[in-house]
Each structure stands twice: as structure tokens, then as C-alpha cells.
Structure 1
Amino acid sequence: MVNSARPQTSDFTLEEYFAKDVQTNLHLFSMHVRHVKGTWFFPSHEHFQYEINYLIEGCQEFTINGNTYNQQAGDLLLIQPGEVHFNRSGNEKEFTYFCLHFQIDDGQLLPVLNGSNQTYYPCDSPMTSKVLPHLNRLIEFSKKNVSLQVSDRMFMLSELFQLFGTIADELTSEKERQIDPKMNEQLAFLIAEKIENLVKNTHIHGPVDEDRIGIDDIAAELGISPAYCNRIFKKRYQISPRQYLSSLMLQKAKHLLMQKELSIDHVAELIGYRELAHFSRQFKRWTGASPACYRKSITD
């Protein structure tokens, strides 16, 4: 959430943009490259971390929850926490694999990771092709024998987050490809309805806090990512959800400004703005005129 305790600078600020306060906790338990003999095996086990296993060379037999995968060089496995798994050589010859175990507390990423029921991605799959550049760079980090310098550590973490972002994008795309087009139509309609209710409720109740509910919250409520929400809505209505929200807010603002008994401060509050200056700047961006000038033009 946005920090509502930030200094009020409306008397001095001409224009400003705020990114949301991001809180993500990442615990990387291990990340390693291992070259093993053909007789090597790891006994059946489970753990509470997510695991990414990428086969660099050779052949690996990997059993997850009773399903056995014959993993070839270049194939990728995504293993959920709590899944029982066992791995060994697939042909009794040496093989090399890269593996990382992690836990992440992120309100947008976790539903995407947990919503996938696919484990195995062959080397020619879209998922593997897209994450491979990140995996290769992480493999290089893993091969460093000395402790990482601060800059290396930050670059490694950056690569990890890019890997997670790429995985999330592809999992979302997979979900989109599997959904019936009619369901996308229904979702787009539901998004529009929730945006309309958002504007209506703001008018009735006023702003609840500085960061009133928005498009990302609507997407989370529907169990989809903001990017997916944007794609299906734009495909149906030819504008983005945020543009639709802005158009409804502008329409509501114009309607309220026609009511002379309402002060402009009150109109701003009914639209969802705590500060008149912020509302005035936004209205001018929408229309090219200030709220006062607009009111004068329609009432003269």
C-alpha cells in the first residue's frame, strides 16, 4: 500500500507520480550446479520451498508425486512446495543439473505460481526458451567459488526477480490460452461492472484512504494478474481498464460540476481526491481546463 503518511506538498508540486510501496520477502535457500556420477540418486523427500530444476547435460529420471519424467538436457521442472520427489540418472551415466530452492512472499506472484498444475517444460517449450537467458546467468553466478561481492549479489538478485517475472508472464499466458474465449468475454464484462461500482461507491462513501481501491485490486479479487486483466478488457472494449476508470471519473466530475450548490472541493472529494490541487491537475489533464473554468463555461 502507498504510505499515507508521506508529506503533503500540494502547494509546491506541479506534477507527481507515485509507485506503490512494494514489500516482497525472498529467501533463497540454495542455488547450485551439480555434476554427478551415473550411480548418484537423491532419495524421496519433500520440502516447503519452490524448486526449479534445469538439466544442463545428460539424462535425469525425476519422479514427482508418483509421476515420472524423463528429463533431457535443456528440460525444466517447476516443483511446488510439499510435492514428494525423487531423482536419479536416467541412463546410469553422468549428468549435470542446476537447481534452486526458494520461498517468496509476494501477493501477486504466489497466486500465479500456485495456480499452475504444470511441472515439466521440455527444452523447446515457450517457458524454457524465455527463462533460459536468466538461468544461464544464474548458473554463472553459482559457479563462482569465492564469496559474491555486494554488486554481484545485487545483480544476482536482480536476475532472480527477472526469472520470477518471466515465469509469471508465461504461466499467465498459458492460462489465457487455455481459457474459453466466452469466459474472457464474461471476465471483461465483470471487470467493467466492478470499475463502474468503484466510481459509484467512491461517490457515495468518499475516499477510504489515500490509495483507494484500483484496477490491481479488482484483478486480485478476480484471481487474475493485472496484465491479464488489461489484455482481456482491452480486447473487448478497445481501451484499458484504467482508461475506462478515468473516463467514468471524468463523466462523474463533469456531472457534479454542473451542480452549482456543490463546491469544487466537495466535487473533488466525491470523485475520490483528498486534495483539491490533485483533482484540479488531473481534471486539466483530462479536459485542458481547470474545474473552475469548466464550470464557468457550462453555466454562463
Structure 2
Amino acid sequence: MDFLKNAKRLPVIDWNLTFFGAHEQAVDSDWVVPIEKHYAFECIFVLSGQEFATIHSENYTLNKGDFFIIPPEFLHQVSAGNNLKYFCFHFDIDDPNLKIQLIQGLRYYYSRSSALCKRVTPYLLKLDSLVNEPEFSFDTKMTIQIELSKILQSFYHTASKHIGKSSSTQAEYSRILADYMKSRLTNQVLDYIKNGYVQDAGTVSVEDAVNHVGISSGYAFRTFKKTFGISPQNYLTKLKINEAKKLLIKPNYSISEISAALGYSGSANFSRQFKLWTGASPLAYRKKPKDPLRTY
């Protein structure tokens, strides 16, 4: 008997939303950040004064109340004008659909008079006010989650209006690749936890994902990198690292078991990869107090 045959369901939510690098700072006019890029989105909000930003050889001047968003893997540089005080943070989410929409549907620069900037300014100011908290309690962290969610929802609504419901063929191929790798990895880990080994389907790989989509590996690499700013292999590695972090906070799984669940050939290989991406060994990460809003 199906006890839920008349049930109306909500979707399963299985994503990693990370928030990190958030800070407020007043700087002198000679302040310059070297050209850099990040694996996550970067958001800059000017509290007072003036800031200059360069991205893709385009120069922008940000004044008080203006907002700037930099997609993952985009080379950029920022510097100070007069009397600059700013609030900045990074965020990342492993939802391929949302990432594509934000990358394709948002501009870099939004003036204080723009609809999006007006909408997110109260949330940004709320986040900024939290830097003065004497300690970051559970309540503070939940407030950060809530305000960040409001910002992302505003981004989503704005981006959706600009790209519509259709997406380019390249973006669609990239989305399918990303979805396939995430789904396969999740099932692979659950399979190992349930059975103690990975079933006949084997471990997820970029090659499997490319074959699933039915395009050439070269075309897959180019379109994926263009869409997400990261190669398919690095995207898969990032998914594995995020899964590893979730498993490492559970002491009942050994590092060798986590390594096997993620499809690594051995614990040493897994440990090297984990340290390369996080700056800490799996054992050191396991022992370190965890902040669920921080990534490494």
C-alpha cells in the first residue's frame, strides 16, 4: 500500500551554500588589491567614499550605495578612491542552474538608484551591522543565512528577467554536465555508506558525464569553462571536497572510508587533494572547530 499516494511534495534540497571572507574596512587612497580571481562570487558594497573596479578591461567607478558583483574565475582588480569604506563578502552555491542564471543574467555594476541595489541594500546593511557583534552565536549565523538567502533570491529574480526561460545550447550542455556529476557523486556516496562499497556503476568521472551528454570532450571543456569559469574536472573535485567536509564532521567515518566513498584510489591521494584545495589535511580539518558559514 502506498501511504503517500495523495501527498503533495516539496523538492529535496541538497546543496552547499557557503559564505566567507565577509568584512568591513576603511582604507587610504593608496589601497590597491592585485589582480586576482576566486572560485566563488564576490560582492562589494560601498558604504562611503569611492572605489574603482576593473573587470574584462572595463573600468567602473563605485560611489556610496553602489554594488558590484564578480562571478567566479573572473580576473579583476579593485582600488580605493577618496575616503573609501566598503563591505565585501564571498558566496558559493553548488546549484548549477542558479550559477548559470547569475553569471548570464546579472551585470557587474549596479548603482544605488538601480532596482536591484535598492532591493538588496537593506540586506547588505544588515549583514554589515553584524561585524560589530561581540561573538558569532548560532542566532547570528542564522541571521546571516537568512539575509544571504534574501540577497540570492533578489539576484535570481533579476537574472531571470534578463535571460528569460530559455538558455543557450552551450549553457544547457554545461548544466546537464554539472547536474549529472553532482547527482552521480551524491548517489555514489550514499551507495558506499549503505553497502560499504560502490556498486557496479562505478565512481563518477568527467568522461562519464561527457558521454552522458553526447558531446566531445574538447567541446565539453570549452563550454563548461565558459559557463562556470572552471573546468569540469575542477568542478567535480570541488564537489568531492564539499562532500568530504560533510563526512569529516561525522566521526563514525574513517578517512580511508571517506576516500573510498568519493572514489579516490587511496587515502594518500585523497589527503593530497583535500589539502591542496582547503589548506588543511583531512585529519586537521576534522579536529578544527567548524563554522558552517565558512569555506576554505
Question: Which of residues 12, 21, 35 is equivalent to 2:12?
Answer: 21
Per-residue deviation, residues 15-58 of structure 1 (Å, max 9, x unmatched): 53221111120122211111111221212111211101111110
Counterpart residue identity of residue 31, structure 1? A
Are residue 157 (structure 1) and residue 148 (structure 2) matched?
A: no
Counterpart residue identity of residue 156, structure 2? A
Alpha-carbon distance in 1 for matches of 2:159, 2:12: 25
Question: Which of residues 71, 81, 89 is equivalent to 1:80?
Answer: 71
For residue 9 of structure 1, report the CA deviation from its aligned partner. 5.4
- Paired residue for 2:131? 142
Counterpart residue identity of residue 161, structure 1? S
Q: Is the 8 A contact 1:53 1:99 kept in 2?
A: yes
Map 1:32-47 → 2, pairs under 5 A: 32-47=23-38
- Paired residue for 2:40? 49
SS of equivalent residue, structure 1 residue 114 = helix
Distance 1:82 1:14, change over 3 A: closer
Q: Is the 8 A contact 2:106 2:155 kept in 1?
A: no
- Paired residue for 2:107? 118
- Paired residue for 1:132? 121
Counterpart residue identity of residue 173, structure 1? K
- Paired residue for 1:263? none
Q: Is the 8 A contact 2:37 2:76 kept in 1?
A: yes
Alpha-carbon distance in 2 for matches of 1:154, 1:163: 14
- Equivalences, count: 168
Question: Which of residues 175, 178, 183 is equivalent to 2:163?
Answer: 175
Distance 1:143 1:108, change over 3 A: farther
Counterpart residue identity of residue 136, structure 2? L
SS of equivalent residue, structure 2 residue 105 = coil
Map 1:183-262 → 2, pairs under 5 A: none
Calculate the aligned-residue CA RMSD, in Å.
2.4
For residue 116 of structure 1, report the CA deviation from its aligned partner. 2.7
Q: Is the 8 A contact 2:105 2:162 kept in 1?
A: no
Counterpart residue identity of residue 90, structure 2? H
Question: Which contiguous aligned blocks of 4+ residues in structure 1 show a shift greater than 6 angstroms?
Answer: none
Counterpart residue identity of residue 77, structure 2? F
Alpha-carbon distance in 1 for matches of 2:2, 2:139: 35
SS of equivalent residue, structure 1 residue 168 = helix
Map 1:90-109 → 2, pairs under 5 A: 90=81, 93-109=82-98
For residue 143 of structure 1, report the CA deviation from its aligned partner. 3.0
Which deviates more, 51-60 or 29-38?
29-38
Which is higher, the Rg of structure 1 or of structure 2? 1
For residue 14 of structure 1, report the CA deviation from its aligned partner. 9.5
Counterpart residue identity of residue 144, structure 2? M
Counterpart residue identity of residue 123, structure 2? H
Question: Which of residues 61, 64, 69 is equivalent to 2:55?
Answer: 64
For residue 87 of structure 1, report the CA deviation from its aligned partner. 1.4
In the alignment, structure 2 segments of 5+ residues that lack a partner are 167-296
Alpha-carbon distance in 1 for matches of 2:10, 2:145: 21
Alpha-carbon distance in 2 for matches of 1:112, 1:96: 30
Q: Is the 8 A contact 2:104 2:163 kept in 1?
A: no
Per-residue deviation, residues 147-182 of structure 1 (Å, max 9, x unmatched): 311122112111111110111111112334xx9xxx
Are residue 89 (structure 1) and residue 80 (structure 2) matched?
A: yes
Counterpart residue identity of residue 152, structure 2? F
Alpha-carbon distance in 2 for matches of 1:40, 1:14: 62
Distance 1:172 1:14, change over 3 A: closer
Alpha-carbon distance in 1 for matches of 2:63, 2:77: 16
Counterpart residue identity of residue 66, structure 1? S
SS of equivalent residue, structure 1 residue 39 = coil
Q: Is the 8 A contact 1:54 1:74 kept in 2?
A: yes
SS of equivalent residue, structure 2 residue 142 = helix
Q: Percent identity?
A: 23
